[in-house]
Structure 1
Amino acid sequence: MRFTSEQRHDDGVLEREFVLGEIPGTLWTPESAAPAPLILMAHNNGLPKGASRLVARARQSAAFGYAVAAIDTPGCGDRPRSAADEQVRAHLRRAMAAGEPVDEIFESFIGPLVEKAVPEWRTTLDALLPLPGISGRVGYSGWTAVGIRLAVVEPRIAAAGFFAGGYVPRTQREEARQVSIPLLFLLQWDDEGNPRQRALDLFGAFGAKEKTLHANPGGHTGTPWFELEDGNRFFARHLK
């Protein structure tokens, strides 16, 4: 892992860009010198680690006392995209805008993306945990499909917060039954891009004994900011 830049913000949060092989990432750490639990924060497919909503979430969580890391997964953010991937993305957007069935398009694109992304998240975790100022307890926040797989295969993750999406690959819908860690599931009731009933069915499928569903009115990007505060308290119960 090689750090390429750093910036100390007014709230005391230190933001550092890093490169790990071909993986670009960002690490935010709190001002306190005490070891901080780590939260892996993944944006939805195709959106970069520098997206404003993710950065705002990451900085608020770091100010709350967590170390927070985000990476660009293959074909996302600033990483190279193949012509085939761009074509599938465009096809998916057109189909969703027209109200056409998208399940098979989604499976052909998101399924392989999850398979590529999860090993990179685990490699990133291997590199982050030995750093000074980071403790050994790990949480995950964000993209549901990647989070399900990580929760199943990565024993170092102790709790997870998922942003509910109705479109989750079939493999991850089956794997949800194996998710046993504490879970906070956020659902936007009027999300135009994710079927509500599918999200509710997915929540029911999770095998965790401790799982909580928070539903709020509004569209995909309308999650209230108080949910981030609740999420920080959720992670405090399980990581601190």
Structure 2
Amino acid sequence: MRFISETRLDDGVLEREFTLGEIPGTLWTPGSAPAPLVLMAHNNGLPKAEPRLVARARYTAARGYAVATIDASGCGDRPRSAADEQARADLRRAMQAGEPVDEIFESFIGPLVEKAVPEWQTTLDALLSLPEIGGPVGYSGGWTALGIRLAVVEPRIAAAGFFAGGYVPRAQREEARQVTIPLLFLLQWDDAGNPRQKALELFDAFGSKEKTLHANLGGHTGTPWFELEDGCRFLDRHLK
């Protein structure tokens, strides 16, 4: 892991960009150390510099957590194949037209999850070797399919917070039954991009004995700010 930039923010959080082989990432750490770690991924691999992700990461770090995110293959500044570009375009077109998107989503997101999981595990190995990070580890993000797979294959993850979850590949819908860690599941009731019934069915499928569903009125980007505060209290219960 090689740090390539460093910025001390007004709230005392240290923001550092890093590279790990071909993987670009960002790490936010609080003034106190060692800190529990939160892996934070945006929905379906949107860039790590996406403003909503950065705002959540900085807030969470200021609450005493080390927070890390990386760009998935084909996202951010990472090169995209022609097939990736076509799949993204097909998905956007179908959603805008109100057409069925399940098969397009399946063919695009399924392989993206398969590529992303080993990269997140490699990143986790490197992060936990840093003296300022002490574990345990949580997951928080809108990329629910990735979070499900990580929760199943990565025993170091002790709790997870998911956003939405209407569209999740079939493989991860099946794997949800194997997820047993504590969960906080956020649902925007009027999210046109995430079918409500599918999200409710996914929540029901999780095998966790402790799982909480928070549903709020509004569209995809309308999650109330207080849910971030509640999310940190959830992390406090399970990571501190």
1:5 aligns to what? 5
Residue 45 of structure 1 aligns to a residue whose secondary structure is helix
1:237 aligns with 2:223: no
Matched with 2:42 is 43
Say whether 1:85 aligns with 2:84: yes
1 CA distance for matches of 2:44 and 2:199? 17
Question: 1:168 is matched with which residue?
Answer: 168
Query: What is the rounded CA distance, in whole Å, between the counterparts of 2:81 and 2:49 in structure 1?
Result: 21
- The alpha-carbon deviation at position 130 of structure 1 amounts to 1.1
Deviation string 1:157-207 (CA, Å, 9 cap, x unpaired) is 000000022100000000000000000000000001010000000000000
Q: TM-score, normalising length from structure 1?
A: 0.99
The whole-number CA distance in structure 1 between the counterparts of 2:229 and 2:45 is 26
Q: Does 1:103 align with 2:102?
A: yes
Q: Does 1:22 align with 2:30?
A: no
Identity %: 85
Q: In structure 1, what is the Cα distance between the partners aligned to 2:226 and 2:76?
A: 27
SS of residue matched to 2:229: helix
What is the alpha-carbon distance in structure 1 between the residues aligned to residue 181 and residue 83 of structure 2?
36
Deviation at 1:136, TM superposition (A): 2.3
Residue type at the aligned position of 2:8: R
Query: Does residue 147 in structure 1 map to residue 153 in structure 2?
Result: no
Report the Cα distance in structure 1 between the residues aligned to 2:36 and 2:164, rounded to whole angstroms.
24
SS in 1 for 2:69: strand
SS of alignment partner, residue 43 of structure 2: coil
Partner Cα distance (2:231, 2:165) in 1:
17
Distance 1:72 1:89 in 2: 16
Unaligned ranges ≥5, structure 1: none
Whether 1:124 aligns to 2:123 is yes
Instruction: Give the deviation of 1:46 after TM superposition.
Output: 4.0
TM-score normalised to structure 2 length: 0.99
Count of residue correspondences:
239
Deviates more, 1:209-218 or 1:96-105: 96-105
For 2:227 and 2:160, how far apart are their aligned partners in 1? 14
Correspondence list, 1:45-84, <5 A? 45-84=44-83
Shift of 1:129: 0.3
Separation in structure 1 between the aligned mates of residue 44 and residue 204 of structure 2, nearest angstrom:
23
Secondary structure in structure 1 of the residue aligned to 2:233: helix
Q: Report the counterpart of residue 194 of structure 1 in structure 2.
A: 194
- How far off its partner does 1:95 sit? 0.7
Contact persistence 1:45–1:76 (CA under 8 A): no
Q: CA RMSD in A?
A: 0.6
Unpaired segments ≥5 residues, structure 2: none
Cα shift at 1:47:
1.2
2:181: which partner in 1? Answer: 181
Secondary structure of 1:49's partner?
Answer: coil
Rounded to whole Å, the distance in 1 between the matches of 2:111 and 2:3 is 29
Q: Residue 31 of structure 2 aligns with which residue?
A: 31
Secondary structure at 2:48's aligned position in 1?
coil
Taking the aligned partners of 1:235 and 1:41, their CA distance within structure 2 comes to: 13
